[in-house]
Homo-oligomer: A and B are copies of this chain.
């Protein structure tokens, strides 16, 4: 299913934005810019011809504010036409009230303008991972497997800093972890940074939950296994 690149159609009426999206796409591996259209009806036509040409679109980057139709209407018409193409919505802040309908229309991701390249890349990489995970779904039989696949689509990589964590300490912990080449335990973080083990764990766990850290138990010694952490990339 995903042994080839993901073909992406950009639906955006502003030429500058459309070019930016295409350029962003070019910087990501696994994606191919399959074309750009400026309004809803053109999008529907383009999707149909792509199917008849044997090169169906896999993903649509759809701006919600189009000259003829609303992006949500385009999505609904796509569904009515039987298309299962995935859609990532691009919307301005003032249109947030349509998030609700977007879920029902089968929109997989939501990008709020203006966005940076890293945000854009993050969302598309998540989508790519989701497809990869679904690709191996034939062998999956459990609720957990499906949950995991869905989760890879909709987990924010950047949680806001919860209560009990301070900016300064968090920065220090991150900085320390980035310098390490081998996994470190909470005790080592405690020693090196001069903070208590409990505090060190608070920050390490938060970073692990948000996906910045890889967490794995360390065995071999008697006693409860100790978690060790590595900075991801």
**Is residue A172 within 8 Å, beta carbon to beta carbon, of the partner chain?**
yes
Mark A86-123 against chain B: 1 for CB-CB distance below 8 A, else 0. 11000001001101110111111011100100010000
Chain A 118-140: CB-based contact to B (< 8 A → 1; otherwise 0) = 01000000000000001001111
Total A residues in contact with B, Cβ cutoff 8 Å: 68
Asked if residues A219 and B233 are in contact (CB atoms below 8 Å), the reply is no
User: Which residues of the other chain, B, contact A215 by a CB distance below 8 angstroms?
Assistant: 168
Task: Assess whether B156 is in contact with A151, with CB atoms less than 8 Å apart.
Answer: yes
| B111 pairs with A166, CB closer than 8 A | no
Within 8 Å of chain B (Cβ to Cβ): is A143? yes
Bound-state CA distance A117–B21 (Å) is 45
Q: Is the CB of A233 within 8 A of B141?
A: yes
Chain B's nearest CB lies how many Å from the CB of A135? 9
Chosen A-B contacts, 15 in total, with CB atoms closer than 8 Å, are A79-B104, A79-B105, A86-B104, A96-B138, A97-B138, A99-B149, A103-B106, A112-B141, A112-B146, A119-B143, A144-B160, A151-B155, A151-B156, A169-B217, A172-B216
